Amino acid sequence: MQMSQEGIDALIKKFEGCKLTAYRCPAGVCTIGYGHTSDAGKPYVLDGMVITQQQAEDMLRRDLVKYETEVYNMVHQPLTQHQFDVLVDFNYNAGAGNLRNSTLLKKVNAAKFDEVPAELMKWTRGGGRVLQGLVRRRHAESAWWSDGAPIHISAPVEEPTDDEHEQRATPDPVVIPTMKDSKQGNAAIITAGLGGLGVAKEVAAQAQDASDTADKLMSLLHNPNFLIMAAIIGLGVAIWYFRKQHMEEHGV
């Protein structure tokens, strides 16, 4: 599957811009064409390098093969053309490492497509600050994802500055909850702890009453209090485990 020409025009070309003379981005990387750098492969970009518009188009097409292949390998759900376009554009802007480790990709692979636009909007920062160029790009991707139509903005839209073109997207800071923040998880630990105290009490009492290990074990297995406490421990552990699995998968 390849990114559509409509998607290339509405997303990558619109937001990357094209420069036919090599320049240094804010990170000091030599760049040319539609954001092409030596990291994307040949031709390697050197200071003072000048290309034609056709060469810029050819570079973009070659670079896109890399980004398309990365998306194809990471996504395990069937996509529409518009959805594929958006993920390739996001990969082009944020990079494969960010896409691979993102909640965005998890939502896609879980077929939670309605939640993708909200995940896209988390990626509006570059260099530690919100960039309006990235905000506009994420809005455009969200619209393209939903209905394959360019976003319509009534207010005048300024062209992205050089900084906005060149900053790679980094996600908005998100506070990730842990099990210590989970009320259910904490309740499960307390429940298991109380059950453990009950078991310990019954074991200690049985140790005094029975003469050998076999008698102690059999007596415990027939002791309703011991069985209830053991069940409470098992329930607490099960609640804690499944709560932990849910938080790791969904983040809540």
Residue written as tokens 């076999």? 214
SS3 40: helix
Q: Which of 16, 68, 164, 166 is catalytic?
A: 16
Q: Is 124 exposed, middle or buried, given 0-12, 13-18 or 19+ CB atoms closer than 10 A? A: buried
Q: Are 84 and 62 within 8 A, CB to CB? A: no
The CA distance from 213 to 204, in Å, is 13
Q: Are 250 and 182 within 8 A, CB to CB? A: no
Buried b vs exposed e over 195-217: b needs ≥16 C-beta within 10 Å?
A: beebbeebeeebeeeeeeeeebe
Q: Are 169 and 93 within 8 A, CB to CB? A: yes
Mark whether 6 is an active-site residue: no
- Phi, psi dihedrals of residue 56, rounded to the nearest 5°: -65, -40
CA-to-CA separations, 111 to 76, 85, 92, in angstroms, rounded? 9, 16, 22
CA atoms 84, 89, 94, 95: torsion sign: positive
Which of these, 81, 36, 87, 86, lies nearest to 62 by C-alpha position? Answer: 36
Q: Which residues are catalytic?
A: 16
